[in-house]
A and B are shown apart, each in its own frame.
Chain A
Amino acid sequence: MPEKFDVIVVGAGPAGTSCALTCAKSGLNVLLIERGEYPGAKNVMGGVLYRKQMEELVPEFWKEAPLERPVIEQRFWMMDKESVVQFGYKGLEWATEPYNNFTVLRAQFDQWFAKKAVDAGALLINETVVTECIVENGKVVGVRTDRPDGEVFADVVVLADGVNSLLSKQLGFHKEFRPDEVALTVMEVINLPKEKINDRFNVEDNQGCTIEIFGDSTKGNLGTAFLYTNKESLNIGVGTTLSSMIKAKLKPYELLDYLKNHPMVKPLIAGGESAEYLAHLIPEGGYRSVPKVAGNGVIIIGDAAQLVNAIHREGSNMAMHSGLLAAESILEAKHREDFSESSLNIYREKLFDSFIIKDLEKYKDAAHTFEKYPQYFNDYVPMMNKAMSKFFTVDGTPKREKQKQIMKSVTAEKGTLRVLQDLYRAWKAVK
């Protein structure tokens, strides 16, 4: 006789674990199913964990979670072939409690996080693939796994099965991706002694630095690269939308090799030893790609619901918060003993009322604009580099004259009107 739970959560990433933890804490009977050997075995992110949403789930988690370094400096690079224009912020207020964000290694962090859910009473089952939702009379009533006697039932099934959510596609909530809705990111973990990291990034033992790199890091394609400091390793990676990768005939590993050998990057990682190589799809379709998130007996959270803010590199925090909102909605539905779509749709309302959808809505045109008008990455980043070079090179030209020359070269290349148009368009996309 197959067992019935209050909630089955598919996928023990940040979204699924948050949901399982919150439901279990409130006394619901939760089954959390993970396909990897352990939670985190198959999960990838650049490596920044935001404090705020994590803290709502596990207060003062930084005292016990396996974190790498609190981030005290965020740098942004506009990179050309042999130069870079940079700006950033470094603040020691981020070096003390409660911190702002942290670098983490997911294989360790996710295991720890999932254990929190288990301690709260959720049942975790690893190495098990959910092959489909069991649908009866138009209602999801459980899941079928790839194991013998593999059916399990629940009032609500929560799909946290990641970016390429096969389960929500089967239910018809999702259509197949367009290549401009997903980015492919490849990254490496490079081991480097602590002292070298501290010296090269100008930080102390328990301080970290993140660098987001635009421009030549993606050979001018829509995407970004990143370089983050862990305790004794660096995370370096690069991602672009699948569509631009296809158009430029780029191979992701070539792009990563290019980045690692870039003269602006190479000295920072020199002497390091590659420890891990990872690749993952990232849902970057934003607001317009968010599918139907609640149905009869089913809720979709995290990457599976395409909840990623590519512009601000936020994803895991949105995943966690969506998991929390899903859990709250399930608890309310449980109170009503009504798990129909109209009852579970409270989750949709909560989601749209939260920072998640508000932020995605704000940037709903951004990716599209930058993809459609490649000049931002292709032309303006090099232009900016040239301008800075010209301005700071001391050659006897009066500064006012230099400014004139710079403005002239920008407008000469593009025409004043084009430049103004581009500026307006970019502002509109992110305003």
Chain B
Amino acid sequence: MHIVVCVKQVPDTKIIKINPKTNTLDRRSAPAILNPYDAHAVQEAVKIKEKTDGTISVLSMGPPQATAVIKKSIEIGADRGYLISDRAFAGADTLATSYALSKALERISKDLPVDMVICGKHAIDGDTGQVGPGIARRMDIPPVTNVIEVSEVNQQEKTVLIKRKLTSGYELIQSELPCLLTVEKEINDIEYSPMPNMIKAARYEPVIWAVSDLENVERTQLGLKGSPTIVGKMFTPPRPEGGIRLEGSSDEQVSQLMEVLMEKKDLLTIQSSK
């Protein structure tokens, strides 16, 4: 079983500042971290590997310092790491990113065929969730999004049983392998990495590929050139107003609350569309 996990280095958006003039992220104001959803993706690969044995590779695209997130993934339990890094990749939107990553996946699967690709649900800096499904489409394998549990992996039958999160409830589906999963945070808890992994990660030098190391690459589909996305406008959403504070005795507060609820009852009706 060869699992490839796609990871991204992102600014820690919990602390990042937004430039009030340009409305863009001030990336210097926050440390770069492994996208939290991707950390869960690596952890899930580790859990699957515990049951099925095999190899976990991580793949990222970014500047040379993005090797840090590959090392972090090795700490969690990945075996190998690949970074594609080249000026030609710069300025890529989700379309160009998924193209570049799928080309790198092609190269990886030449060494060792890939049985499963796992991505985080989305990156916390862009929040699009498009790169995972984009890779699946290009590799022509089924994309399974919003995964909250990998219940069973059957290596003989080459199938996998998966729970997907829906707006109300979940869906249990079976997919053939290879397939691509994008995972939610609740799929697992990140474990405290064992010491041998830490030592391995500290020593690890990821493989770094430039465009010239990949095969059959259409250069016009890379980076800014291959990115049709145009950012129309960026703005900081207004802070939500602070709600109503109910005062008085508990009876008074209850009746006030009932009034509010009755007023907004349309919002509360659970719609049963099916």
Question: Hey, which bits of chain A sit against chain B, CB under 8 A?
Answer: 2-3, 31, 123-125, 128, 145-152
CB-based contact B203/A123 at 8 Å: yes
How many residues of B are counted as interface, with CB atoms below 8 angstroms from the partner's CB atoms? 10
Residue of A nearest to B203 (CB): A123
A314 → B minimal CB distance (Å): 31
Q: Which residues of B contact A145 (CB under 8 A)?
A: 195
CB-based contact A124/B202 at 8 Å: yes
A189 → B minimal CB distance (Å): 16
Q: Which residues of A contact B194 (CB under 8 A)?
A: 147-150
Task: Assess whether B24 is interfacial by the CB under 8 Å rule.
Answer: no
Task: Apart from A125-B202, A128-B195, list 14 A-B contacts with CB within 8 A.
Answer: A3-B196, A123-B202, A123-B203, A124-B202, A125-B198, A146-B192, A147-B192, A147-B194, A147-B198, A148-B195, A150-B195, A151-B195, A152-B195, A152-B199
Q: Which residues of B contact A128 (CB under 8 A)?
A: 195, 198
A152 to B202, CA, bound (A): 14
Q: Which residues of B contact A146 (CB under 8 A)?
A: 192
26 contacts between A and B (CB under 8 A): A2-B195, A2-B196, A3-B196, A31-B199, A123-B203, A125-B198, A125-B199, A125-B202, A128-B195, A146-B192, A147-B192, A147-B194, A147-B195, A147-B198, A148-B191, A148-B192, A148-B193, A148-B194, A148-B195, A149-B194, A149-B195, A150-B194, A150-B195, A151-B195, A152-B195, A152-B199
A123 to B194, CA, bound (A): 16
Question: Hey, which bits of chain B sit against chain A, CB under 8 A?
Answer: 191-196, 198-199, 202-203
Can you list the 9 inter-chain pairs with the closest CB atoms, starting with the nearest?
A148-B194, A123-B202, A149-B194, A147-B195, A150-B195, A125-B198, A149-B195, A125-B202, A149-B196
A147 to B199, CA, bound (A): 12
Residue of B nearest to A143 (CB): B195
B67 → A minimal CB distance (Å): 13
B147 → A minimal CB distance (Å): 26
A191 to B101, CA, bound (A): 42
Residue of B nearest to A126 (CB): B198
Residue of A nearest to B192 (CB): A147
A3 to B194, CA, bound (A): 13
A2 to B192, CA, bound (A): 17
A197 → B minimal CB distance (Å): 21
A147 to B75, CA, bound (A): 12
Q: Which residues of B contact A148 (CB under 8 A)?
A: 191-195
A430 to B119, CA, bound (A): 65
A147 to B196, CA, bound (A): 9
Q: Which residues of B contact A125 (CB under 8 A)?
A: 198-199, 202
B75 → A minimal CB distance (Å): 9
A147 to B76, CA, bound (A): 12
Q: Which residues of B contact A149 (CB under 8 A)?
A: 194-196
Q: Which residues of B contact A123 (CB under 8 A)?
A: 199, 202-203
A145 to B192, CA, bound (A): 12
Residue of B nearest to A124 (CB): B202
A147 to B198, CA, bound (A): 9
Q: Which residues of B contact A31 (CB under 8 A)?
A: 199
A215 to B198, CA, bound (A): 49
Residue of B nearest to A33 (CB): B198
Q: Which residues of A contact B195 (CB under 8 A)?
A: 2, 128, 145, 147-152
B145 → A minimal CB distance (Å): 31
Q: Which residues of B contact A124 (CB under 8 A)?
A: 202
B196 → A minimal CB distance (Å): 6
A150 to B195, CA, bound (A): 5
A147 to B77, CA, bound (A): 14
A3 to B196, CA, bound (A): 8
Residue of B nearest to A5 (CB): B199
Interface centre among B191, B196, B198, B203 (most CB of A within 10 A): B198
Interface centre among A2, A125, A145, A152 (most CB of B within 10 A): A125
A2 to B194, CA, bound (A): 11
B197 → A minimal CB distance (Å): 9
A149 to B198, CA, bound (A): 11
Q: Which residues of A contact B203 (CB under 8 A)?
A: 123
Q: Which residues of A contact B193 (CB under 8 A)?
A: 147-148
Residue of A nearest to B191 (CB): A148
Q: Which residues of B contact A152 (CB under 8 A)?
A: 195, 199
Q: Which residues of A contact B196 (CB under 8 A)?
A: 2-3, 149
